[in-house]
Structure 1
Amino acid sequence: MTDPTQDPRFLQDPYPALAALRARCPVQALPTESGGRPGYLVTGYAEARAALGDPRLSKDTAAFFAGKESRRRLHPAVAHTMLACDPPRHTRLRKLVTKAFTAGAVLRLRPFIAQVTGELLDRWPAGERFDFVSALAVPLPVIVICELLGVPVKDRPDVQRWSGELFAAGRPDVIDAASHDLADYMTGLVAAKRRDPGDSLLDGLIAARDGGERLSEEELVSLAVLLLVAGHETTTHFLGNATLALLRRPGQLERLRGNPDDIPAVLDELLRFDSPVSTATFRFTTEAITLGGVGIPPGTPVLVALGAANRDPGRFPSPDLLDLDRDAAGHLAFGHGIHRCVGAPLAKAEAEIALRAVLTRFPGIRLAEPAERLEWRRTRLVRGLSALPVMV
């Protein structure tokens, strides 16, 4: 089938095409170019939520691809993360990581997030065109998650580059190389912290035990890679998408500027409106299931389109309208069930602090390029801007 990420019109606004698919059938087969077994695409909200919570849909990619020939050379620490396994292993790993993202832990991070935000905004050039993505949306979450993990400042540009290259759609060689660069770096960082322990999240994972069992070296590296990548990619695109949505709607922007205390309450609607994760990570059926009235055989990949589900009019009336008064609780931007994004509280805290600071300090912020000419990342997994030219 045609790759939609190569169509500029789809990248600009995928929602009409996704709505047409959903109207035809919220669960449908997607034929493969080779004529092999198709995957299934889920675009309806109820069906997506059911799929995300169904234990018969496995995320164990190692089991699915076992024995299948592949030209890919992803590093195992990237290919087999916590996102690519099932209980009980997933339960054990998630329990250890969740401690770093409790409400109390995020609350303690807020002063640091505010400090970094202020320092980044201090560099914004008044009266000149610049890129919001590279000036705030990328560096803020990168600095925060690197600080959490204990990544030295001098290494952060390389870590940021490798992380971005993991999402280079259509360039498997770049993705594979980046996976090795990032995993090799994290292997070295784990070794360095064993020699000279500190108080970072990574130090805590090295010392952590689950009952009487420590994390293996491979698990440590894999968790470090996952936390780094997931800890900033989603937030980067959340910030960019939310800011663009507001800049295109001056009335909504002005409302928040005048009432910045409303920002925490509207984050869910901004997430629902243009989800930073467009498609959930890989799943496949372990037995025959029926989803949305459609029978799916065992061993079949199922793609859950979170962005499409969040625009389902059966769950969110007038879904193409950004309504800051809408109760958007229950949106699927962070997933659902046991694999729901563990860093969601941190992402929302960063977005709240950043948006409040931008609207307060720069009341005249505006687009420096027509929205129709903006470039979007060419990837199926996330939805985010390559750049967002603005002026203040």
Structure 2
Amino acid sequence: MGAVDLRAYPGFNADPYPHYAALRELGPVHEVFSVPGEPFWLIVGHEESRAALTDPRLSKSAASVGAEMFGVDVIGPHLLVVDPPDHTRLRRLVAREFTMRRVEQLAPRVQEITDELLDVMLPAGHGDLVDALAFPLPIIVICELLGIPSGDRDAFRAWSNEVVTPTGFEESRAAIQALAVYLDELIEDKRCQGPSGDLLSALIRTRAEDDDRLSAAELRALTFLLLIAGHETTVNLISNGVRALLAHPGQLADLRADFSLLDGAVEEMLRYDGPVETATVRYTTEPVPVGDVVIPAGVIVLVGLAAADRDPARYPSPDTFDIRRDTRGHLAFGHGIHFCLGAPLARLEARIALRSLLTRCPDLAPDPSAGPLDWLPGMLIRGVRRLPLRW
């Protein structure tokens, strides 16, 4: 059987889940392609995906197979493109500052920002939830956390969009280059300013017990990762979650009636239609058996997080949205050493945004005049560009 062309699947971008289910019926892994270029291998089974996310034969470093990762030469090495021991060292240094305690201390400020955004949003009676709430909330939070000036957020939004959903090779590379220049200047400014309370200043000065510290390139790359991953996933967690609730009015009514269900609802949103469709690329350093198939050495592998979390072998009736479901083991934030460092912050922002929105908008509903949804392209980020609603 040759590589499966996902472009031939009608409506794949809008609803990939039936197509993932069809592939999963044939086996847990398939050679596929979705854009012109070399095929890659896609894992769609839950058990197999969980195992792949911790398999050392699946390297995050393109150099391990003699390849180059797009943009790494410009932005530098970060947590998603290196293996142990480099990954272990980088994660240890950043984890010293990106703690659960720091995240929990953000809750009052996240609530304040949410209330301010809703104060501006609600008088209109209708609008785009992405533009009004789902995007500005996490970008304000991560920029304040890192100490990025508020006046730079619009430029950053344009760069970020081009990085995660590129319109072309040259456009994406230009965005990465612009971000690299901006971050170098920002880091140098903070070095000169001396200690302050933001995370980036702390990362500049953090040292391990052995006096290890982040290099200039590592600081730039890590800040790039925290900025991109620190808001793109949360934007789509919020908007995808609202879409799921509105499509399931019974579940929405249950949540409105009992907000003690909110934590479980957020986890079900992550499982049912999470913001990251496939994990970032891995490379086989040797042949890797998956089920009855052997993935050859030296090829790209994508772990289908969205596909895995709809696997009926792990979750009964996986296409049913159920905020009371036991979602333990979902892979929306990954698994193993590359588990998302920002997961606690994303969960915090989603809980506050959803509770505030549902409390203040009792008549929240899709805007019937808005036309079809505009889905984000590609297989990395799952979501829509706009979410027109009435409230």
Fold match (TM-score > 0.5):
yes
Tell me the distance in 2 between the aligned counterparts of 1:117 and 1:8. 37
Task: Work out whether 1:114 is the aligned partner of 2:90.
Answer: no
Indicate the residue corresponding to 1:57 in structure 2: 58
Alignment of 1:141-156 (within 5 A): 141-156=138-153
Q: 1:47 corresponds to which letter in structure 2?
A: E
Task: Measure how far apart 1:79 and its partner are.
Answer: 6.1
Indicate the residue corresponding to 1:138 in structure 2: 135
Q: 2:14 corresponds to which letter in structure 1?
A: Q
Indicate the residue corresponding to 1:275 in structure 2: 274
3-state SS, counterpart of residue 30 of structure 2: strand
Tell me the distance in 1 between the aligned counterparts of 2:53 and 2:265. 24
Indicate the residue corresponding to 2:358 in structure 1: 359
- Answer whether contact 1:279 1:380 (CA < 8 A) is retained: yes
Tell me the distance in 2 between the aligned counterparts of 1:343 and 1:30. 30
Tell me the distance in 2 between the aligned counterparts of 1:366 and 1:35. 41
**Aligned to 1:83, which of 80, 95, 98?**
80
Q: 1:174 corresponds to which letter in structure 2?
A: E
Alignment of 1:292-303 (within 5 A): 292-303=291-302
- Answer whether contact 1:5 1:380 (CA < 8 A) is retained: no
Scaled by the length of structure 1, the TM-score of the pair is 0.93
Indicate the residue corresponding to 1:285 in structure 2: 284
- Answer whether contact 1:6 1:378 (CA < 8 A) is retained: no
Task: Measure how far apart 1:255 and its partner are.
Answer: 1.2
3-state SS, counterpart of residue 381 of structure 2: coil
- Structure 1 portions without partners, runs of 5+: none
**Aligned to 1:28, which of 27, 30, 43?**
30
Relative distance call for 1:32 and 1:127 in structure 2 (3 A) is closer
Task: Measure how far apart 1:100 and its partner are.
Answer: 3.6
What per-residue deviation string (whole Å, max 9, x for no partner) do you get for residues 76-113 of structure 1? 35463210000011011111222344322111010010
Indicate the residue corresponding to 1:105 in structure 2: 102
- Answer whether contact 2:278 2:303 (CA < 8 A) is retained: yes
**Aligned to 1:16, which of 15, 18, 39?**
18
Scaled by the length of structure 2, the TM-score of the pair is 0.93
- Answer whether contact 2:147 2:199 (CA < 8 A) is retained: yes
Task: Identify which range, 206-215 or 326-335, moves more after superposition.
Answer: 206-215
Q: 1:242 corresponds to which letter in structure 2?
A: G
Relative distance call for 1:126 and 1:2 in structure 2 (3 A) is farther
Alignment of 1:120-199 (within 5 A): 120-126=117-123, 128-197=125-194, 198-199=196-197
- Structure 2 portions without partners, runs of 5+: none
Relative distance call for 1:7 and 1:179 in structure 2 (3 A) is farther
Indicate the residue corresponding to 2:304 in structure 1: 305
- Answer whether contact 1:44 1:312 (CA < 8 A) is retained: yes
Relative distance call for 1:164 and 1:266 in structure 2 (3 A) is same
Tell me the distance in 2 between the aligned counterparts of 1:7 and 1:294. 23
Q: 1:114 corresponds to which letter in structure 2?
A: Q
Tell me the distance in 1 between the aligned counterparts of 2:130 and 2:35. 35
3-state SS, counterpart of residue 328 of structure 2: coil
Indicate the residue corresponding to 1:201 in structure 2: 199
Tell me the distance in 2 between the aligned counterparts of 1:321 and 1:372. 25
Task: Identify which range, 184-193 or 91-100, moves more after superposition.
Answer: 91-100
Relative distance call for 1:318 and 1:358 in structure 2 (3 A) is same
Q: 2:197 corresponds to which letter in structure 1?
A: D
3-state SS, counterpart of residue 294 of structure 2: strand
Indicate the residue corresponding to 1:238 in structure 2: 237
Task: Identify which range, 256-265 or 133-142, moves more after superposition.
Answer: 256-265
- Answer whether contact 2:75 2:217 (CA < 8 A) is retained: no
- Answer whether contact 1:368 1:389 (CA < 8 A) is retained: yes
Relative distance call for 1:192 and 1:119 in structure 2 (3 A) is same
Relative distance call for 1:101 and 1:194 in structure 2 (3 A) is closer
Tell me the distance in 1 between the aligned counterparts of 2:9 and 2:176. 27
Q: 2:271 corresponds to which letter in structure 1?
A: R
Identity, % of aligned positions = 47
Task: Work out whether 1:314 is the aligned partner of 2:313.
Answer: yes
Tell me the distance in 2 between the aligned counterparts of 1:384 and 1:320. 17
Indicate the residue corresponding to 1:350 in structure 2: 349
Tell me the distance in 1 between the aligned counterparts of 2:368 and 2:8. 22
Tell me the distance in 1 between the aligned counterparts of 2:175 and 2:167. 14
What per-residue deviation string (whole Å, max 9, x for no partner) do you get for residues 21-45 of structure 1? 1111111223699896x53110000
Indicate the residue corresponding to 2:376 in structure 1: 377
Runs of 4+ that moved beyond 3 A: 1-8, 31-36, 62-66, 77-80, 125-128, 369-372
Relative distance call for 1:259 and 1:75 in structure 2 (3 A) is same
Q: 2:149 corresponds to which letter in structure 1?
A: P
- Answer whether contact 1:62 1:80 (CA < 8 A) is retained: no
What per-residue deviation string (whole Å, max 9, x for no partner) do you get for residues 100-144 of structure 1? 443221110100100000000001144632000011110000000
- Answer whether contact 1:277 1:333 (CA < 8 A) is retained: yes
* Alignment RMSD (CA, Å): 2.2
Task: Measure how far apart 1:375 and its partner are.
Answer: 1.2
